[in-house]
Amino acid sequence: MRASLLAAAATFALAAPSAAFAQAAAVDDSEAAISELSEQLSDPVFQDQMSAVASIFISSLLELEIGQFAAAVDEATGGEGPEIDPDARIRDIAPEAEELPDKVADNLPKAMNAMSAMSSGMADMLPALQAMADRMKDAFEEADLARETDAF
């Protein structure tokens, strides 16, 4: 009996620090990934590239032919929709969207800087969030244990 208690204690003594170290390593890995993301989001060259990609993507969407899709929706809903030219593009039915590619390209760097700041703050909060998650896990386990005890 004493040998099994010693073996259990030794196992716990070895396992507990390993689990804590694994959690710390996971937090460190997450902090590193978030830090890298934060740096990338605040990089002006990356921001310019993403702005160009977003502008091209939105411009391409505006060229999407929507007329046949609108006709299919109209047919599926019993012909209640507006009359749309079968060759219409999104640009044709939403002319106010013409400025959208430039607006997105202009505003995306600001949004990326904001995301960078938020992710940096998240990295700082990660240890506290991990501790909170651990406390919640313990509380749930205690609640389950209490519920099992009340069942008898």
Question: pLDDT per residue over 40-61, tens digit each?
Answer: 999 999 999 999 999 999 999 9
Residue 99 lies in a domain: yes
In this structure, is residue 81 part of a structural domain?
A: yes
Residue 118 included in any domain: yes
Q: Does the structure show a pLDDT above 60 at 108?
A: yes
Q: Would 58 be classed as within a structural domain?
A: yes
Provide CB contacts within 8 A for 101, sequence distance 6+.
Answer: 54, 55, 56, 58, 59, 62
Please check whether residue 83 lies inside any domain of the structure.
yes
What gap in Å lies between CA 63 and CA 89, rounded to an integer? 5
Residue 112, in any domain of the structure: yes
Mean pLDDT in residue range 113-118: 91
CA distance 30 to 37: 10
Question: How far is residue 6's CA from residue 94's CA, in Å, rounded to a whole number?
Answer: 76
Lowest mean pLDDT among 22-31, 83-92, 104-113: 22-31
Residue 46 phi, psi (nearest 5): -65, -40
Quote the domain boundaries for residue 70: 44-127
Which two three-digit tokens encode residue 37?
A: 């993301």
Would you say residue 147 lies in a domain? no
Is pLDDT at 126 greater than 50 in this prediction? yes
Count, residues in the chain: 152
Is pTM beyond 0.85 here? no
Give the pLDDT confidence score for residue 26 in this predicted structure. 54
Judge whether 11 lies within some domain.
no
Could you give the CA distance from residue 134 to residue 137 in angstroms, rounded to a whole number? 5
Greater confidence (96 vs 25) lies with 96
Q: How many domains does the chain have?
A: 1
Distance between CA atoms of residues 121 and 116, nearest Å: 9
